[in-house]
Amino acid sequence: MSDSGVDALRSCLDIPVIGPGQTSMLCAMMMGNKFSIITMWKSWFHLYDKNIKNLGIKDKVASIRSINVKPDNQSLLAGKEEEIFPLLLKAAQSAVENDGADVIILGSTTMHQSHAYLTKNLNVPVINPGPLTYKMAETMIDAGLAHSKNAYPGSPVPKYDLFGAMMDAARKADR
């Protein structure tokens, strides 16, 4: 959801490069008037704020809510869903009832296990960032679209020379 490295990759590649944060937020705006992001912990808020600021969509954000549980995929896989999913549902319900959210976005691609549970228990759309981003990339490829090279110009150094120089520097650093 942080979309880290997306801009840099766009300047190096000619294929669609998209991140789950921007994809989810832009899709949420097509599905409702305001969206909320439900996340595991507050330490991730700055990642969402970065994308919200870059997109200029602060007025479309109802809230960012956290359940204050450190993400632990191993615990979830070991059966902690019974503890975590109701906390996520409560946060999402508060976002809808108190903050005015029309759409809920899962705050991490690692929260995908909760999507079906939340969708079943909420009366608003719930965006699962991973599959949505995959499908958006697939759609862009099928439509023959990629990012603008005016917005993301490449380096004047040919990319193979650039990557070669990076690899050489990495090999020297290992010595």
Position 159 scores a pLDDT of 66
pTM: 0.86
Among 79-83, 143-147, 167-171, the range scoring the smallest mean pLDDT is 79-83
pLDDT tens profile 20-76: 999 999 999 999 999 999 999 899 999 999 999 999 999 999 999 999 987 666 665
* Mean pLDDT on 85-90: 96
Domain ranges of the chain: 6-174
Fold entry, domain 6-174: Rossmann fold (3.40.50)
Q: What is the pLDDT of residue 79?
A: 63
Mean pLDDT throughout 8-25? 93
* pLDDT (0 to 100) of residue 76: 55
CA neighbor of 1 nearest in space, from 128, 109, 127 = 109
Q: Percentage of the chain surpassing pLDDT 70?
A: 91
Task: With cut-offs at 50, 70 and 90, classify the pLDDT of residue 82.
Answer: confident
Contact 96, 121 (CB under 8 A): no
Work out the average pLDDT over 135-156: 93
- pLDDT confidence tier of residue 17, bands split at 50, 70 and 90: very high
